[in-house]
Structure 1
Amino acid sequence: MNYIGIDIGSTCAKTAVLDENAEILYTFVLPTGWSSFETVTRIEEALMCQGIDLKQSLCVSTGYGREAVEAAQKKVTEITCHAKGAAVLFGEEPMNLIDIGGQDTKVISCTKGRVEEFFMNDKCSAGTGKFIEIMANRLELPIDQMDSAARNRTEELKISSMCTVFAESEIVALIGKGTSKENIAWGVLDSVVRKVKQEYAKLGDGDRPVFLTGGLCENQYLIELLSAQLGREVRSHALARYAGAVGAAAAALKMEK
């Protein structure tokens, strides 16, 4: 039996497959695109290429598009799945999670895969992956190069606007003044981590170990900036972007036990 977790987010759809020992067998990510239903079809095809039949497996779906996964026996919120996935990836000790997603940022306190407290910013794209994507496009940089560009900044440029639309206008003005891409890229990442710090400060116990999940977990310089802002080390994992999908797969495994 395969235990499958499908996390259909606003930007990317992540899939994880676990075995009966909660070992991660297979993970992959696809762009969500405009239709979650079409994305599910592509996920099924990708699984079949690995000899895995979604309809013959136990599956739990999560994320914005979880209702589109008709083969899922259960649909669970992403907050719950991130906590369960963190237990698989990082262990069961008390911890705080930061998930910088495409459309929202979540901060979660959890122990043994159970959510104890959480907050999320879903009212504005500022402080999210979408904010970085928009600003990277304005700078004509691939989003995966924002990290290296920011590391090469020559000054610490502050972006004052708290709104994505106004911040983009501010960046246009900076470009017009001849400000370097590297300095603007640093300002963009700094703006994100400062907004994340505001959300993190709402947690009751900020002294727990901190782990970053989501699509930005491979951006090492952003992790360094976030650690500096929080005043404590932020760690991640090679598969941390799949935390929601891994947690959903873990929920599928629990269904059978």
Structure 2
Amino acid sequence: MTAPVRIAQLSCGPDYSGVQEEINQAAKSVNGEIFFPDVALKDIMRDFDAFGLEVRSPDLKLAISRAMALVDGRIEADAVFIATCFRCAEAAIVRNELRRYIHEHSKLPVVSYSFTERTTAGTLLTRMEALTTIARRRALLAREVQEGITLGIDSGSSTTKAVLMKDNKIIGRGWQPTTEVLKSARDVATHALGEAGLKLEDVEAIGTTGYGRFLVGKDFNADLIQEELTVNSKGAVYLADRQHGPATVIDIGGMDNKAISVMDGIPGTFTMGGICAGASGRFLEMTSKRLGIEITELGPLAMKGMGAHVPMNSYCIVFGTQSLVNALAAGSSREDVAAAACHSVAEQVFEQQLQEVDIKEPVIMVGGTSLIEGLVYAMGELLKTKIVVPPNSQYIGAVGSALLASGFIRDGADAGH
């Protein structure tokens, strides 16, 4: 077994909130080891003054000193995990500043996490998995070309996708709503193989990602089972042909959202989650149903409307739906309501996720919602930039999985799954 990834924790409050053991367990489950950097009292005062951010909390002063010790090389680590309570405004400022400072002045992968009295186990585990992956597999994540015949399966919360690739080209695709996790995965894989005229025995390596990645990975005897943060960022820059230099990847999913800052194809900082499904693709699905249209028609309809004419609150999916009903009852046009829904989701993603990553162009939108042109337009208006939507953007997780899985062919992975 490989040595655990040493994860330096910079935090304020997890012991008081009772979540430290959950953080430790999440790290341990992905072969990571949490440790707290040792710094002397005299170093704390010196580093705090040098950093120049005025805070009152002794724990936050300690976190600042620990961050500076990591950047200066006084303490060695493989990755950094920053955690603070979401109720504390001072801690939120320090968390974001430390994340930015470490990212800009070192090569350490860093992720920040805002917790309540109990963590959201799924998103905490995904963050830890991504953090250890970047620390352990930088060479794999630097892969720019797909080789051989590989299959990528993305078992998402709303849809399941499969992509078959051969020598850097997509030769088969499959897509369907997620119902039974394994059946959906088998169906999309069969469709992709059929489109390519191949059999499963022809596949040289398989990669899985998404919510159902472990179950599907076991069923397909996958060579690579990987969380969606690193997979999606890799797939995004690959399809957008932006594998060198900086980029920002936005994935507004069916249940949660991801924002990832990427440099040369490798994630630097990232955040995921969302306070409510009102800021996700689920709200846009509900909007489409209420307007009596297919989700594919929502984007063109929104482009004909003026969202500013309709007050919309998608911070909560319940209140958002109420705003939707009230607007229609008050005589707002379907076009204006569609535009308002798209703008509201974009605004919530901006406030909830994009504040925690350094946005650098190009901004690449991926996932099924990237095909909703009204949403892409609204996001571009908020960020004051032209959004890049690469071809096959809805298959992003499957493409990333197929691309990264090809790294296991040379390592002696056996064909004939």
TM-score normalised to structure 2 length: 0.58
Residue 169 of structure 2 is aligned to residue 23 of structure 1: yes
After TM superposition, the structure 1 = structure 2 runs for residues 55-70 of structure 1, keeping only pairs within 5 Å, are 55-57=201-203, 58-69=205-216, 70=219
Q: Contact 1:47 / 1:53 at 8 angstroms: preserved in 2? A: no
How many Å apart are 1:98 and its aligned residue? 0.4
Q: Contact 2:283 / 2:317 at 8 angstroms: preserved in 1? A: yes
Using the alignment, how far apart are the partners of 1:217 and 1:152 within structure 2?
A: 18
Residue 183 of structure 2 is aligned to residue 38 of structure 1: yes
Q: Which amino acid aligns with 2:198?
A: I
User: Helix, strand or coil for the counterpart of 1:141?
Assistant: coil
> Which of 363, 367, 389 is the equivalent residue of 1:214?
367
Q: More displaced, 36-45 or 182-191?
A: 36-45
User: Helix, strand or coil for the counterpart of 1:233?
Assistant: coil
Question: Could you tell me which residue of structure 2 aligns to residue 51 of structure 1?
Answer: 197
Distance 1:218 1:44, change over 3 A: closer
Task: Summarize deviations over 1:81-138 as a string: whole Å, max 9, x none.
Answer: 1122123212312211001111111100112332111111244212211110012112
Q: How many residues align?
A: 254
Gap runs ≥5 in structure 2: 1-147, 411-417
How many Å apart are 1:154 and its aligned residue? 5.1
Question: Could you tell me which residue of structure 2 aligns to residue 13 of structure 1?
Answer: 160
User: Helix, strand or coil for the counterpart of 2:371?
Assistant: coil
Distance 1:59 1:92, change over 3 A: same
Using the alignment, how far apart are the partners of 2:317 and 2:292 within structure 1?
A: 17
Q: Which amino acid aligns with 1:127?
A: A
Quote the sequence identity (%).
28
User: Helix, strand or coil for the counterpart of 1:28?
Assistant: strand
How large is the RMSD of aligned CA atoms in angstroms? 1.8
Residue 238 of structure 2 is aligned to residue 92 of structure 1: no
Distance 1:174 1:86, change over 3 A: closer
Residue 288 of structure 2 is aligned to residue 142 of structure 1: no
Using the alignment, how far apart are the partners of 1:45 and 1:139 within structure 2?
A: 34
Q: Which amino acid aligns with 1:43?
A: V
After TM superposition, the structure 1 = structure 2 runs for residues 183-198 of structure 1, keeping only pairs within 5 Å, are 183-198=336-351
How many Å apart are 1:215 and its aligned residue? 0.3
Q: Which amino acid aligns with 1:119?
A: T
How many Å apart are 1:155 and its aligned residue? 6.0
Q: Contact 1:214 / 1:240 at 8 angstroms: preserved in 2? A: yes
How many Å apart are 1:76 and its aligned residue? 0.4
Using the alignment, how far apart are the partners of 1:134 and 1:114 within structure 2?
A: 35
Using the alignment, how far apart are the partners of 2:350 and 2:189 within structure 1?
A: 38
After TM superposition, the structure 1 = structure 2 runs for residues 166-181 of structure 1, keeping only pairs within 5 Å, are 166-181=319-334
> Which of 381, 388, 401 is the equivalent residue of 1:248?
401
Task: Summarize deviations over 1:201-221 as a string: whole Å, max 9, x none.
Answer: 211x22331100000222233
Task: Summarize deviations over 1:14-53 as a string: whole Å, max 9, x none.
Answer: 1111223x222222312212x1011122124324424333
Residue 198 of structure 2 is aligned to residue 78 of structure 1: no
Question: Could you tell me which residue of structure 1 aligns to residue 253 of structure 2?
Answer: 101
Using the alignment, how far apart are the partners of 2:235 and 2:289 within structure 1?
A: 31
Gap runs ≥5 in structure 1: none
Q: Contact 2:153 / 2:189 at 8 angstroms: preserved in 1? A: no
Using the alignment, how far apart are the partners of 1:196 and 1:188 within structure 2?
A: 12
Distance 1:150 1:48, change over 3 A: closer
Q: More displaced, 109-118 or 242-251?
A: 109-118
Using the alignment, how far apart are the partners of 2:382 and 2:313 within structure 1?
A: 17
Task: Summarize deviations over 1:192-243 as a string: whole Å, max 9, x none.
Answer: 110121221211x223311000002222332222111011221111211111
TM-score normalised to structure 1 length: 0.92
Bigger relative CO (Cα 8 Å, ≥ 6 apart): 1
How many Å apart are 1:73 and its aligned residue? 2.2
Q: More displaced, 24-33 or 94-103?
A: 24-33
